[in-house]
Structure 1
Amino acid sequence: MLVKKHSIELEKVLSFLNEIEITIIEKELDETTFLPGLTLGPNCIYIDFDKLLYPGDILHEAGHLAVTTALERKLVGTEDMPKDWPTQGDEIGAILWSYAAVCHLNLPLEFVFHANGYKNNSDWFVSNFKSGNYIGLPFLEWAGLTLSESRAALEGKKAFPIMQKWLRD
């Protein structure tokens, strides 16, 4: 458990990631990270809580790990990881995964889809998700993480945003 005090929302996120076995490692990071205070490593997220601006970004980064195969998750942050990772498909999968996670945790969508994220397209993503237009759903279904409504009905299971599992095999 991290030593610092966090908001209730952040504690929910950290507890959830621990449950699904994505490791959080508190670490001082320099200013070169893509997102302030966050970077990815082998099946882990390094967080510098002093530099972290948007705690919801943790769920997006976790989404990148979650939609990556188990074999490649171990390579994230190393020179052995393919240079084209994450692909555009991985990116849209991580966005939709983080939507499912924020729904699962019963947090406001703005926790992840804040005004300063997603190249100023947060409102567009939120609008699509609220209307049931789940961009990237075929990818998450193909990866074995969730089910579309039609497939869920056939299998007698719950459909997205309910996840069948949180990490790709």
Structure 2
Amino acid sequence: MEDRYLKTVRVLADYQFGRGAGKALFPESCQFIVSRKTGKIRQIMDDGRRIATIKPESGWLSISIEGARRLKDLLPYPQLRVVVDSRVAEFIAEGKNVFAKHVVDVDSTIRANDEVIVVDESDNLLATGKAVLSAFEMLEFQRGVAVDVRQGVRK
């Protein structure tokens, strides 16, 4: 059963984040927390740390800080990243939302509701969250939330 779960989450990660993401995120040592009622995967853990959660309403992966670290190491800059002004990096690392006026660069393929990694101008990981705006909107708008931060590195 574990093999089937591992194959499922790897395929999902490859589709959502790009080829190779599944193996980078989910090694053979992963454990799965499965719903007793539905039998569906809830969370994917590795060495006692949560890597990702499968959102029941959409079926997409929601990555943790550990998952974001693994993806950041795999994916070349600026893929999957929202880059913020270094002056607000401390606030973002504490789990505060990213506002459009603080975005200095972004992966041009990001769409609203995509799972993203938030980094500073030196590509240091700050947070993970869900894009509220598209890449174009993040760079053009001067108001509003660009990324709904789920977890900061210091939270």
- TM norm. shorter chain > 0.5: no
Q: Which has the higher strand share?
A: 2
Higher-helix-fraction structure: 1
| TM-score (structure 2 length as normaliser) | 0.31
Report the TM-score, using the length of structure 1 for normalisation. Answer: 0.30
